A and B are shown apart, each in its own frame.
Chain A
Amino acid sequence: MQSRLPILVFALVMAAIPFIPGMPPFWIVLLDNIGLSALVAMGLVLLTGVGGLTSFGQAAFVGFGAYTTALLTTAYGLSPWLTLPLSLLISGLLAVLLGLVTVRLSGHYLPLGTLAWGLGLFYLFSKLEFLGRNDGISAIPPLSIGSFKMLSPGSIYFAIWVAVTLSALLTMNLLDSRTGRAIRALRRGHVAAEAFGVHTPRAKLLVFIHAAVLAGLSGWLYAHLQRAVNPTPFGAQAGIEYLFIAVVGGAGYVWGGVLGAAIVVILKEVLQSYLPLIVPGSGQVETIVFGIMLVALLQLAPGGVWPWLMSFLPERSGGRKPDTSLKLEQRPRASGQSSILLQVEKARKQFGGVVAVNNVSFDVQAREIVALIGPNGAGKSTTFNLITGVLSATSGSISVLGRKVDRAPPQEIVKLGISRTFQHVKLVPDMTVLENVAIGAHLRGHSGPLSSMLRLDRADEAKLLAEAARQIERVGLAEQMHQLAGSLSLGQQRIVEIARALCVDPMLLLLDEPAAGLRHMEKQQLAKLLRDLRDGGMSVLLVEHDMGFVMNLADRIVVLDFGTKIAEGTPATIKTNPEVIKAYLGVAA
């Protein structure tokens, strides 16, 4: 994503196309349509392919963009250039409204919800008097610069493709940034991203708005290309088709949207013009063939065409190593009334009738490694979730430096300097190790989406990546920095999670079974790393099943069994505690 050369080449090629002698004007019309669809599909790539939010309702946003400019230019005589920001604004505002309702839905609710409001809005367009009902609005003025009016498809072509190229550039910039990493983490679920301070509903809303604004832009261009609007192109069928375009092209790739638009628009055109010659007779033969081809294509290439094409290109050697000399400011230390870092008092968690954690109390002091052990199902991971705010306790309290944090969400807990890893690794497999680790530093960066799009975030970004690279080197994975996280072994992925947690600049590190899947040597390195961290002033609370590892490392051990604390003490006393032996080995041991 670093190189801008392909985009430049693309822009030059697109700029040159209309000047090819003998270029049929009809092809230009097709290219116009491709550009309009590509804009919408690009938004869907971000929304669906990257963010994991499926929307069937994008056509409604196109409609809002188109109707806004149509109404304002015809009824109120505004200049089209004035209505551009208004079109985008209206689409964006609508996205905020609908997004607030829908983005919190997961899985299948979201696509169905979007389908429903897509349809509702379509009927609204066709029923509202001031939007001309089914006839729509006609006689929309063309775009013009000075006295030059963009009346022909060939003249508006440039406006469309400038919009496509700029949108692609901005979208790619956004993805390659602090905000972009948060967006790319969305598809893998909330818990991991929220543990590092990402406000996931806000990130979802952001992509929703981005996609809607791109759709609104497409609608604005459409209105001035056709110079008439009616409800038909903004219905459910169109919404479905946009999604189809994104999936065909490759839903995870910005250029997949453009490619998909080209494939679908050309395919439809070819079917419409040639099928009647082959199959004479009435009606919707092209729809039938289109539908069948769609299913066939999905069966043959479910990932889309763009990644399939890209697999033919020589693999690019890994990215540049960030300049690790750049320093990221330390996180401001939370100060409190108490010297006890973490205090858990009579924490209790019930799931229905099951008591997962039963009035457990313990604490963690500064510069201390505490291990939480116990048989499977003892409530260790649930305790972690209570501390980090993923779950809220049924009763009892948890305080950090003397301050109660009982109801605080994960994003607030991490701000206090408590970071964690997960028992089941939660990395984004199609992001590099460096990018995954940089999510850990999310709260230590400041750039927002707009500055990311405009590349004003580079200084901030370089510092974040430098910090991520430093932590990766610290845990000994420098070699793997530019590999995809999904390609690492499970043990290495656990270490990546530790690097990500370290990026928070924590005072307390919560590790859930960090040594699982590691080889003997790697465990020793991990133990050394954790001791170094403690000596550097950090505290560690870990859940671990490897007794040898725990006994050699921990300063103190808390033993849970069936959600209840049965023992606490130094490794030496725990080893001989009869209760503990009973819990692990049975009564007669």
Chain B
Amino acid sequence: MNTTIMLFLLQDGITNGAIYALLGLALVLVFAVTRVILIPQGEFVTYGALTYASLASGQMPGTAKLALAMGVTACAFDLFVARKALHGRLILRSVVANVVLPAIVLALTIYFAAQKPSVAVCIALSLVIVAMIGLYLYRIAFQPLAHTSVLVLLIASVGTHLALQGLGLLFFGAEGQRGPAVLSGAFTAGSLRFTGQSLTVYGITIAFIVGLWLFFGLTLYGKALRATAVNRLGARLAGIRTTLSGQIAFLLASVIGALSGIMIVPITTLYYDSGFLIGLKGFVAAIIGGLVSYPLTAAAALFVGIVEAFSSFYASNYKEVIVFMLLIPVLLLRSLAAPAVEEEKD
């Protein structure tokens, strides 16, 4: 192997790894706050990517309608739960957040889709649409289950993954799509060529990692989220609205997912079901990071990306096998390091 190939593979691996890092971070975030292992994270990726690609090619993405439908359902859930104590402000707030907002976004989407919008508009619309889907998803599927076990939440997570993936096929068809580059242009350094797209990927990943770190370390909301993660009941007693924490977590996760999707779709063709596998690789990273540590997850994600790049070069048939089997030695190490006294609760 010569150094050029090696550097090239390394670069490829780091680009992919950066995406996995973002997804891994989102998974860690959601798990820590809500105890949900977010399998539909992959759908946020594909929804973001394909909404962006559809808009850019002047098509109307079905996700905007889905956001409205989910918003209406979420509003119905809100009103049903509060049926004994309905008052004007509550109704107004729920209707504005869950119905009026997605309706406006839908109108904007219809307006812009007809006239091949600019890249910036496509990104903004895709992010808003997927963010709303994430938010309403928490309200509909997970908030009513917030008190149950990790297992029940996991199964619910699988259910939402199946439904969203099916809807993805309905909206975007079985054909793959590619989107326009977020940042075009490229420069070369030595034998390596850096595209604007890959630099965007690095930049956004670093920005998110620093941003999350600051958010959790310095802001009150970040601390509230951490408190919820440690002890739900205690957080509630301290006046933290745990549903709000869950909403923030899902909102962040869906934005991160959509953003990752938008960044990948100019590089590789994405299909309605591609997200699952991409999300799972984020998982692998998150597990290596122990589902708690952000820096470790990011490092692990880079490692996963690099392993994937090298194994696709040397043993492309066994690429997925190698990536997923990577977990076994990691689990083994974690097993050996696991504390002897550990009590599970359910």
Contacts and interface: CB of A to CB of B under 8 A. Distances in A.
Interface of A: 48, 52, 54, 98, 101-102, 104-109, 111-113, 115-117, 119-120, 123-124, 127, 187-191, 240, 243-244, 247, 251, 281-295, 298-299, 302, 390-391
Contact of A120 (B150, B160, B173, B324): B324
A240 B151 CA distance: 12
B293 to A, nearest CB: 14
B321 A113 contact: no
Q: Which among B37, B161, B165, B328 has the highest number of chain A CB atoms within 10 Å?
A: B328
A190 B342 contact: yes
Contacts of A187: 344, 346
Interface string B134-172: 000000110011001011101110111111111101100
A283 B155 contact: no
B152 A302 contact: yes
Contacts of B338: 104-106
Nearest to B317: A127
Interface string B41-55: 000000000000000
Nearest to A124: B321
Interface in B325-341: 325, 327-328, 331-332, 334-335, 338, 341
Nearest to A54: B151
B166 A116 contact: no
B31 interface: yes
Interface string B172-187: 0110000000000000
B159 A120 contact: no
Nearest to A300: B144
Contacts of B141: 295
Q: Which among B167, B317, B331, B332 has the highest number of chain A CB atoms within 10 Å?
A: B331
Nearest to A112: B287
B318 interface: yes
Contacts of B345: 189
Contacts of B323: 120
B240 to A, nearest CB: 23
A461 to B, nearest CB: 28
A247 B341 contact: no
A123 B170 contact: no
B327 A113 contact: yes
B264 interface: no
Interface of A is mostly: helix
Interface of B is mostly: helix
A105 B152 contact: no
A244 B163 contact: no
Given A108-B37, A120-B325, A295 B156 contact: yes
Nearest to A111: B154
Contacts of A287: 162-163, 165-166
Nearest to A243: B155
Contacts of B287: 109, 112-113, 116
27 contacts: A54-B151, A102-B331, A104-B338, A105-B335, A111-B151, A113-B287, A113-B327, A113-B331, A117-B324, A117-B325, A123-B318, A123-B324, A189-B342, A189-B344, A189-B345, A190-B342, A191-B341, A244-B158, A247-B152, A282-B169, A283-B170, A286-B166, A291-B159, A291-B162, A295-B141, A295-B159, A299-B144
A289 B145 CA distance: 19
A101 B327 CA distance: 10
A207 to B, nearest CB: 15
Q: Which among A98, A123, A190, A289 has the highest number of chain B CB atoms within 10 Å?
A: A123
Nearest to A295: B159
Given A117-B325, A283-B166, A294-B156, A105 B331 contact: yes
Contacts of B204: none
B331 A298 contact: no
Given A105-B338, A119-B320, A288 B166 contact: yes
Given A190-B342, A191-B343, A284-B170, A117 B327 contact: yes
Contact of B163 (A120, A283, A291): A291
B159 A298 contact: yes
Contacts of B154: 54, 111
Contacts of A101: 328, 331-332, 335
Interface string B25-37: 0000001000001
A298 B147 CA distance: 12
Contact of B161 (A243, A291, A293, A299): A291
Given A123-B320, A123-B321, A282-B170, A391 B341 contact: yes
B166 A285 contact: yes
B344 A127 contact: no
B321 A291 contact: no
Nearest to B284: A116
A109 B334 contact: yes
Interface in B7-43: 31, 37
B335 A294 contact: no
B280 interface: yes
Q: What 4 pairs between A and B have smallest CB-CB spacing?
A: A291-B163, A294-B159, A291-B162, A120-B324
A508 to B, nearest CB: 22
A283 B169 contact: yes
Contacts of A115: 280, 283
A109 B324 CA distance: 14
A119 B323 CA distance: 10
B301 interface: no
A116 B327 contact: yes
A108 B150 contact: yes
A288 B170 contact: yes
Q: Which among A106, A289, A391 has the highest number of chain B CB atoms within 10 Å?
A: A106
A414 to B, nearest CB: 16
B291 interface: yes
Contacts of A284: 165-166, 169-170
A52 B325 contact: no
Contacts of B332: 101
A98 B331 CA distance: 10
Given A190-B342, A287-B162, A108 B31 contact: yes
Interface in B191-229: none
A357 to B, nearest CB: 15
Contact of B335 (A52, A104, A116, A286): A104
Contact of A189 (B140, B151, B164, B343): B343
Given A52-B344, A295-B141, 11 more contacts: A119-B324, A189-B342, A190-B341, A243-B155, A244-B158, A282-B169, A290-B159, A291-B158, A291-B163, A291-B166, A299-B156
Contact of A107 (B160, B162, B331, B344): B344
Nearest to A285: B166
A256 to B, nearest CB: 14
A109 B167 CA distance: 29
A573 to B, nearest CB: 36
Nearest to B35: A108
Q: Which among B31, B159, B280, B332 has the highest number of chain A CB atoms within 10 Å?
A: B159
B144 to A, nearest CB: 5
Contacts of B169: 282-284
Contacts of B170: 281-285, 288
Contacts of A281: 170
Nearest to B277: A119
A241 to B, nearest CB: 9
B159 to A, nearest CB: 3
Contacts of B174: 283
B152 A298 contact: yes
Contact of B162 (A288, A302, A390, A391): A288
B331 A109 contact: yes
Given A112-B283, A120-B325, A302 B164 contact: no
B317 to A, nearest CB: 5
Contacts of A190: 341-343
B271 to A, nearest CB: 13
Contacts of A299: 144-145, 156
A105 B335 CA distance: 6
Q: Which among B37, B283, B287, B324 has the highest number of chain A CB atoms within 10 Å?
A: B324
Contacts of B173: 282
